[in-house]
């Protein structure tokens, strides 16, 4: 009987392997289709930031930093969304340290964007400006200062879908200069769906090329949302240098509908570097600080 059992197990294994390979191939094929359709809507946003930090009476420190960020074009006119925390990391730090009492009041952190450019695949640099910010949702919207010569490839946020726990999604990104700013795709898996205070998705913590500002798509090609950072004020007792996940912040995928709602309030570029904060009216809607 043993040879019969061994033959049966071998046959079962042979049947199962092609099925698993087929599922993997199907995921790869769907991912490549999404990649080819939307890769050019993902752009590098190059920013120059001036920062100044001081703590109590210990003096201050200032500096300038040039950084490449990931942005997602959401309108052919060039309107691009990225994570606000990436353009203003000091604001993120202030949010997290909000529960630290006296330390927060003594710590002064200021950041100023002095230059913003959208870098296209062909090497074109489009001077841009921040036209709207939403601190609650960690969103920043930029527009080219001059209208692009040709309509830009863009993700249609109205073609959106929803995900469930353990669903796989495809996130797109552009790598840094060391990798020639090549387009990249990653498979992310949804580890949690949070309903309150608003709907958002938490991807698992596996290290991939996905960065803040990357768009995430369902396998049917619909847009799920944009990768941003959610921050809450951390309690002093919960702060730990040994924690693998810093208390008070986590990466999330903000649903496309939330992004679209704010994007509709984005004003036209004014040709300067002013950065109006997004304000909310009594209904909770986000609006530009200086609506036109």
Positions of E strands within the chain:
42-55, 60-73, 80-83, 107-119, 125-134, 139-144, 168-174, 183-194, 200-203, 215-217, 223-231, 249-255, 278-280, 286-288
Kindly report, residue by residue over 85-138, the tens digit of the pLDDT: 998 876 666 665 654 555 555 667 777 889 999 999 888 999 999 999 999 999
The CATH class of 34-273 is: mainly beta
What percentage of the chain has pLDDT greater than the value 90?
56
Give 240-248 contacts, CB < 8 A, sequence gap 24+: 245/205, 246/96, 247/96, 248/95, 248/96, 248/99
Distance CA 195, CA 208 (A): 25
Which among 148, 174, 164, 165 has a CA at the least distance from the CA of 72? Answer: 174
| Burial label, 183 (beta-carbon count in 10 A; 0-12, 13-18, 19+) | middle
Q: Which pLDDT tens digit goes with each residue over 193-248?
A: 999 989 999 999 888 999 999 999 999 999 999 999 998 765 554 444 444 455 67
Domain boundary assignment for the chain: 34-273
Report helix, strand or coil for 191: strand
DSSP-assigned states of every residue in 12-81: HHHHHHHHHHHHHHHHHHHHHHHHHHHGGGEEEEEEEEEEEEEETTS-EEEEEEEEEEEEEE-STT--EE
pLDDT value for 52: 76
pLDDT at residue number 243: 46
Q: How confident is the model at residue 277 (pLDDT cuts 50, 70, 90)?
A: very low
pTM: 0.79
Cβ–Cβ under 8 Å, residues 154 and 74: yes
More confident residue, 121 or 275: 121
Contact 139, 83 (CB under 8 A): yes
Token digits of residue 267: 């004003």
Q: Is the pLDDT of residue 283 over 50?
A: no
pLDDT-above-70 percentage for the chain: 69
- The CB density around residue 62, as the number of other CB atoms within 10 Å, is 10
């Amino acid at each position: 009987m043993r040879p019969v059992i061994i033959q049966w197990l071998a046959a079962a294994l042979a049947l199962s392997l092609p099925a698993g390979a087929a599922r993997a191939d199907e995921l790869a094929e769907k991912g490549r289709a999404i990649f080819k359709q939307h890769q050019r809507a993902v752009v590098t946003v190059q920013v120059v930031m001036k920062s100044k930090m001081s703590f109590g009476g210990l003096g201050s420190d200032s500096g300038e930093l040039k950084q490449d960020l990931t942005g997602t074009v959401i309108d052919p006119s060039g309107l691009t969304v990225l994570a606000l925390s990436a353009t203003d990391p000091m604001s993120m730090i202030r949010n997290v340290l909000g529960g630290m009492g006296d330390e927060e009041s003594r710590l002064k952190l200021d950041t100023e964007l002095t230059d913003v450019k959208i870098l296209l695949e062909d090497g074109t640099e489009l001077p841009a400006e921040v036209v709207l910010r939403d601190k609650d949702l960690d969103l920043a919207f930029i527009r080219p200062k001059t209208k692009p010569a040709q309509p830009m490839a863009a993700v249609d946020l109205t073609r959106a879908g929803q995900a469930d726990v353990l669903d796989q999604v495809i996130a797109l990104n552009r790598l840094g200069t060391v990798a020639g700013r090549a387009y990249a795709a990653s498979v992310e898996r949804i580890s949690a769906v949070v309903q309150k205070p608003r709907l958002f998705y938490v991807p698992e913590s596996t290290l991939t090329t996905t960065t803040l500002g990357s768009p995430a798509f369902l396998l049917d090609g619909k847009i799920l949302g944009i990768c941003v950072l959610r921050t809450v004020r951390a309690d002093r007792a919960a702060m730990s240098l040994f924690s693998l996940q810093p208390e008070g912040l986590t990466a999330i995928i903000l649903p496309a509908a939330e992004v679209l709602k704010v994007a509709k309030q984005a004003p036209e570029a004014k040709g300067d570097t002013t950065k109006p904060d997004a304000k909310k009216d009594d209904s909770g809607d986000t609006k530009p600080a200086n609506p036109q």
